[in-house]
Amino acid sequence: MSDKGAGFVIAATGLCAEARIAARSGSVRAVAGGGDTARLEELVRQLAAQGGEAILSFGIAAGLAPQCSAGACLIGHEVVYQGCTYSADPAWTTSIKKLIGKADLVRIAGVDRPLVRPSEKQALHQASSAAAADMESHVVARLAAVFALPFAVLRVIVDPAELELPPAALAGMRADGRLDVGAVLASLVRRPRQLPGLIRLVGDAGRARAALLHCSDLLGSRLGFHDLS
Round to whole Å and give the CA distance between 48 and 147: 7
* pLDDT digit string, tens, across residues 167-222: 888 887 777 778 888 988 898 899 989 999 989 999 999 999 999 999 999 999 89
Radius of gyration of the chain (CA): 16
| Domain topology for 8-163+206-219 | Rossmann fold (3.40.50)
Give 11: exposed, middle or buried? Use CB within 10 Å, 0-12, 13-18, 19+.
Answer: buried
Q: Is the pLDDT of residue 227 over 60?
A: no
pLDDT at 15 over 50: yes
Per-residue confidence (pLDDT) for residue 223, from 0 to 100 = 93
**5, pLDDT greater than 70:** no
For residues 128 and 124, give the distance between their C-alpha atoms in angstroms, rounded to a whole number: 6
pTM for the whole thing?
A: 0.91
Integer Cα distance of 164 and 156 in angstroms? 17
According to the 3-state scheme, what is the secondary structure of the chain? CCCCCCCEEEEEECCHHHHHHHCCCCCEEEEECCCCHHHHHHHHHHHHHCCEEEEEEEEEEEECCCCCCCCCEEEEEEEEECCEEEECCHHHHHHHHHHHCCCEEEEEEECCCCCCCHHHHHHHHHHHCCCEEECCHHHHHHHHHHHCCCEEEEEEEEECCCCCCCHHHHHCECCCCCECHHHHHHHHHHCHHHHHHHHHHHHHHHHHHHHHHHHHHHHCCCCCCCCCC
Q: N- to C-terminal Cα distance for the chain?
A: 22
pLDDT in tens, 77-118: 999 999 999 999 999 999 999 999 989 999 999 999 999 999
CA torsion 119-125-131-132 (nearest 10°) is -50
